[in-house]
Amino acid sequence: MASVNLDIAQRLDITCRKRDTFSLTLNFTDSSGTAINLDSYDFKLDVRDATNNSDIIADTVFDYAGNSSGELVVSATSAEMDVNSGVYIYDLQTTLSGTVTTWLYGTFTINDDVTS
């Protein structure tokens, strides 16, 4: 019996700190190593409670800057990262011409901070 796997998502676990500025730079290439032009893509990263997937911890707080060299910067201000510390799950979805694809997923750990 033949099978096909359409799931291209790669696991990337992220750890950051509560109330710190969040800036994650990623570089995306195709299977031949050529940079993917990200100019026309839309991005969405949701962070959800790992035990109750419907509880959104952070979604609209992230900004996205992708370029033609395959570089994507996902960022959020320190005020936007003032969320409860804990271990969550996330995924990063792209949309291009109406096609939605999950590129990354994993745990999203927010370590507690002492300074407020």
The domain locations on the chain are 10-111
Let me know: does 83 contact 69? Beta carbons within 8 Å.
no
Q: Find tokens 């994993």 and name the residue.
A: 106
Mean pLDDT of 23-48: 95
Specify the pTM. 0.88
**Torsion angle defined by CA atoms of residues 32, 34, 39 and 45, in that order, rounded to the nearest 10 degrees:** 60
The matching CATH number, chosen from 3.50.50.60, 3.40.228.10, 2.60.40.10, 2.40.50.90, for 10-111 is 2.60.40.10
Residues 4-32 pLDDT 10s: 999 999 999 999 999 999 999 999 999 89
SS (H, E, C) the chain: CCCCCCCCCEECCEEEECCCCEEEEEECECCCCCECCCCCCEEEEEEEECCCCCCEEECCCCEEEECCCCEEEEEECCCCCCCCCEEEEEEEEEEECCEEEEEEEEEEEEECCCCC
What confidence score (pLDDT) does residue 65 get? 97
